[in-house]
A = this chain, B = another copy of it.
Amino acid sequence: MIRNQMRLEFLSCSENVGLARVAVAAFASGVDFNLSDLEEIKVAVSEAVSNAMIHGYEGATTGTVRLSASLSDEALEIVVEDDGKGIPDVEQAMLPGTGSDPERLGLGFVFMKSFMDEVDVWTEVGKGTRVKLLKSLPGNGSHLANL
């Protein structure tokens, strides 16, 4: 059962990465996540939203990034979406250090995967990318979700 829900849409300019983090943290504040869980969720959101801006829209600040969050009795689910250039090879993109930019670590997906219990990516070249991040609620068997 969905306990709460929000959708946030913003322009792909880098000052909005902080907005996305803050909104998700406020949305999740009703849950008894511990501080370190909340920190990790913020990092994962930051990576997904930054990717939409840098890679999806290739730095253009006129794109729209959509973020939705919903809270059930089991998990916090966050979806980050862009209508950008898409990822030709997702499996390859999700490997550490395979990014295209020497100034970037290629660790965005690695962080998302280490900090969340589930990471799913849908993408279509020329259409956009959708990343789903799932964090089990405390006491909801987050170890199982890692299997």
Q: Which residues of A contact B (CB under 8 A)?
A: 4-11, 13, 15-16, 18-19, 22-23, 26-27, 29-30
Contact = CB atoms under 8 A, between A and B. Distances in A.
Contact of A6 (B19, B27, B30): B19
Nearest to A2: B11
- Copies of this chain, how many? 2
Contacts of A5: 10-11
30 contacts: A4-B10, A4-B11, A4-B13, A4-B16, A5-B10, A5-B11, A6-B8, A6-B9, A6-B10, A6-B11, A6-B16, A6-B19, A7-B7, A7-B8, A7-B9, A7-B10, A8-B8, A8-B9, A8-B23, A15-B30, A18-B26, A18-B29, A19-B23, A19-B26, A19-B27, A22-B22, A22-B23, A22-B26, A23-B23, A23-B26
Q: Give 10 closest A-B pairs by Cβ, nearest first.
A: A6-B10, A22-B26, A7-B9, A19-B26, A23-B23, A8-B8, A15-B30, A5-B11, A19-B27, A22-B22
A22 B6 CA distance: 13
A86 B96 CA distance: 53
Nearest to A9: B7
